[in-house]
A and B are shown apart, each in its own frame.
Chain A
């Protein structure tokens, strides 16, 4: 029997949501100060308005609703879903006020795209936007990649609610027994990489002829987008803008690192166990799916005579494939080239890569390597059964940070989420087709949005129908939170209404 939802439950959820929004708002002070330093006063005012709005909403929710001592899974999950929705509306305020969006819906679209590290963008005139606004775009992907709950966890007082909210955000690996310390560890890992990555990019930028200051800005932004598997870029041409092989290589490296499980990073950095990376089922699965899609893509591109040399195959083909597989969405070709040049095999290979996605508990989207690996292992185990003697029993194991036995519950859970992703991609494609988009392009864009990738074949634009924008916003949201937290929140609301009537 499903439990009823009382006012006390709402109070718990809204109290936690208030705290998350309150702390999240402070992140707007970074672009606010950047704007002040760079004489972008209009932009600074936009961020001050956004910060005060977050402060006010957070303050009201925190003070009106008291946080209880005990909390359940539904509270954590629902608070996560609600926080993401409210944060989207509030973070879209500076976007909208900047005047670079045609509507508030467009601003919400780009905000959700940033938060979910998707990278689909409908902002206007990117090449002329203020640096502070551009920084905010990349900060959104960086914060969204680690998770806005993770931001709040660093500041929130320790409580049982933290981990429950964290799981709702897709960060189910508890690196350290304390949830607060887990949040801090995630941020520490990301900041170490930010420092290293930015240095790489800055040197590449200077080598590429940029001024040190411009390369610092571009370096930080492009690192944030690669590591968070975001896909935004400071210029409208995305990675094409740089015309630089070193930047493309560095990006591929950080896209792969960013799509890896935070637990694995923790093992490598803090437990000094580098071999864990290769032992893990996720790494094995990722290598297999990346190799298979790469073979398919290469076959398609060579067969159709698109890229016949090694270098374009790496700089365009492999880059796009890695970008798609890791859920980044950075591009070294123009959106329309997918359709007009790459052909069907290229599109299918990229769609498959996007759907598979990166590692679990990372910034990447998609099915996630662990689920693909588990389902594959379960299929093999099922086939093996037929070759066993009547009394024979096999126990399948897999290694994911620790050894585990492959049981029915794990397989069912993995298969269910994969099924939900497939349904979501299909629904998104149907909405696209209803809006007059050819099926293959509609499917491509739907997978890109739902798997939080951001590669576009030209469908995503400010001129697309509002129904499609809303569909993609929902898909990005569902894909990032991996359904369960959103479904729990929907049931939470539904049960509240049932209670009243």
Chain B
């Protein structure tokens, strides 16, 4: 009986921990649209934000700017320490998928330190997924279209040249 009770407790604890893990995995990261929908509610509060680092780091000094793009296609400026920035591998741009990062920090709907900017001052910064290069694949259909257009243009040019020739003959 004791053994059964023990197994049951182990099972219950495991199940509970699993649930906890699931809850943690589903922990909602705030989106830019959510922050901007109710800016005064989130202003000055600590929030978690997840997204792709895009562009390049900007500004000077010990703290600099990066811009982070959420999965709805909206980006926000994150003000963070140069030490965090050093860890970033890829900044998203054409043919580059930037690092996916998690930022925890204070949201400012109108930042007094940065001339009224809407930003996040990062306290913690984590790289969740390293970015990578994307290989460009040429679409062959585009080459067919170009060839078709080229043939059309040659036909048109020849046609008008012949027309001009006969017109000059008739004159």
Sorting the interface of chain B by its residue count into under 10, 10 to 19, 20 to 34 or 35 or more gives 35 or more
A131 within 8 A of B: yes
User: Would you give the shortest CB distance from B154 to chain A, in whole angstroms?
Assistant: 10
User: Would you give the shortest CB distance from B82 to chain A, in whole angstroms?
Assistant: 11
> Is there an interface contact between A307 and B94, defined as CB atoms closer than 8 Å?
no
Q: Which of A52, A237, A334, A337 contacts B149 (CB 8 A)?
A: A52
B87 within 8 A of A: no
Q: Known interface pairs A55-B153, A214-B56. Does A336 touch B93 (Cβ–Cβ under 8 Å)?
A: no
User: Would you give the shortest CB distance from A329 to chain B, in whole angstroms?
Assistant: 18
Q: Name 12 extra pairs, CB < 8 A, besides A210-B58, A334-B74, A341-B110.
A: A49-B145, A52-B146, A52-B153, A56-B153, A59-B157, A59-B160, A208-B60, A243-B117, A315-B115, A315-B117, A316-B110, A340-B39
Stretch at the interface among A122-130, A220-228, A394-402: A122-130
Q: Known interface pairs A45-B146, A236-B69. Does A309 touch B112 (Cβ–Cβ under 8 Å)?
A: yes
> Is there an interface contact between A333 and B118, defined as CB atoms closer than 8 Å?
yes
> Is there an interface contact between A49 and B142, defined as CB atoms closer than 8 Å?
yes
A235 within 8 A of B: yes
Q: Which of B36, B55, B115, B160 contacts A340 (CB 8 A)?
A: B36
Q: Mark A340-369, 1 if CB is under 8 A from B, else 0.
A: 110000000000000000000000000000
Q: Which of A53, A127, A311, A337 contacts B39 (CB 8 A)?
A: A337
> Is there an interface contact between B59 and A208, defined as CB atoms closer than 8 Å?
yes
Q: Mark B131-150, 1 if CB is under 8 A from A, else 0.
A: 00000111100110110011
4 nearest A-B pairs in the assembled complex, by CB-CB distance? A312-B116, A52-B149, A315-B115, A45-B142
> Is there an interface contact between A127 and B92, defined as CB atoms closer than 8 Å?
yes
A207→B58 CA distance, assembly (Å): 9
Q: Known interface pairs A236-B73, A333-B118. Does A241 touch B55 (Cβ–Cβ under 8 Å)?
A: yes
Stretch at the interface among A36-44, A288-296, A416-424: A36-44
A131→B96 CA distance, assembly (Å): 12
User: What is the chain B residue whose CB lies nearest that of A337?
Assistant: B36
Q: Is the interface of A mostly helix, strand, loop or mixed?
A: helix
> Is there an interface contact between A311 and B115, defined as CB atoms closer than 8 Å?
yes
Q: Known interface pairs A46-B142, A209-B58, A209-B60. Does A311 touch B37 (Cβ–Cβ under 8 Å)?
A: no
CB neighbours (8 Å) of A56 from chain B are 149, 152-153, 156
Q: Which of A42, A240, A311 contacts B138 (CB 8 A)?
A: A42
CB neighbours (8 Å) of A334 from chain B are 32, 36, 74, 118
CB neighbours (8 Å) of B137 from chain A are 42
A214→B54 CA distance, assembly (Å): 13
Q: Which of B58, B93, B136 contacts A244 (CB 8 A)?
A: B58
Interface residues of chain B, those whose CB is within 8 Å of chain A, are: 32-33, 36-39, 54-60, 64-65, 67, 69, 73-77, 92-96, 109-110, 112, 114-119, 136-139, 142-143, 145-146, 149-150, 152-153, 156-157, 160
> Is there an interface contact between A45 and B77, defined as CB atoms closer than 8 Å?
no
> Is there an interface contact between A128 and B92, defined as CB atoms closer than 8 Å?
yes
Tell me the residues in window 269-324 of chain A with beta carbons closer than 8 Å to chain B beta carbons. 306-307, 309, 311-316
A333→B153 CA distance, assembly (Å): 48
A241→B160 CA distance, assembly (Å): 52
> Is there an interface contact between B152 and A63, defined as CB atoms closer than 8 Å?
no
User: Would you give the shortest CB distance from A126 to chain B, in whole angstroms?
Assistant: 9
Tell me the residues in window 12-70 of chain A with beta carbons closer than 8 Å to chain B beta carbons. 39-42, 45-46, 48-49, 52-53, 55-56, 59-60, 63
User: Would you give the shortest CB distance from A375 to chain B, in whole angstroms?
Assistant: 35
> Is there an interface contact between B149 and A307, defined as CB atoms closer than 8 Å?
no
Q: Which of A45, A60, A130, A243 contacts B143 (CB 8 A)?
A: A45
> Is there an interface contact between B67 and A307, defined as CB atoms closer than 8 Å?
no
User: Would you give the shortest CB distance from A266 to chain B, in whole angstroms?
Assistant: 36
> Is there an interface contact between B118 and A337, defined as CB atoms closer than 8 Å?
yes
> Is there an interface contact between A235 and B36, defined as CB atoms closer than 8 Å?
no
CB neighbours (8 Å) of A241 from chain B are 55, 67, 75, 77
> Is there an interface contact between A42 and B139, defined as CB atoms closer than 8 Å?
yes
A90→B103 CA distance, assembly (Å): 43
A245 within 8 A of B: yes
User: Would you give the shortest CB distance from B122 to chain A, in whole angstroms?
Assistant: 14
CB neighbours (8 Å) of A86 from chain B are none
Q: Known interface pairs A46-B142, A336-B33. Does A245 touch B115 (Cβ–Cβ under 8 Å)?
A: yes
User: Would you give the shortest CB distance from B168 to chain A, in whole angstroms?
Assistant: 15
CB neighbours (8 Å) of B59 from chain A are 208-209, 243-244
Q: Which of B58, B76, B156 contacts A242 (CB 8 A)?
A: B58
User: Would you give the shortest CB distance from A497 to chain B, in whole angstroms?
Assistant: 29
CB neighbours (8 Å) of A127 from chain B are 54-55, 69, 75, 92-93
CB neighbours (8 Å) of B38 from chain A are 340
A211 within 8 A of B: yes
> Is there an interface contact between B138 and A45, defined as CB atoms closer than 8 Å?
yes
Q: Mark A185-218, 1 if CB is under 8 A from B, else 0.
A: 0000000000000000000000111110010000
User: Would you give the shortest CB distance from A440 to chain B, in whole angstroms?
Assistant: 17
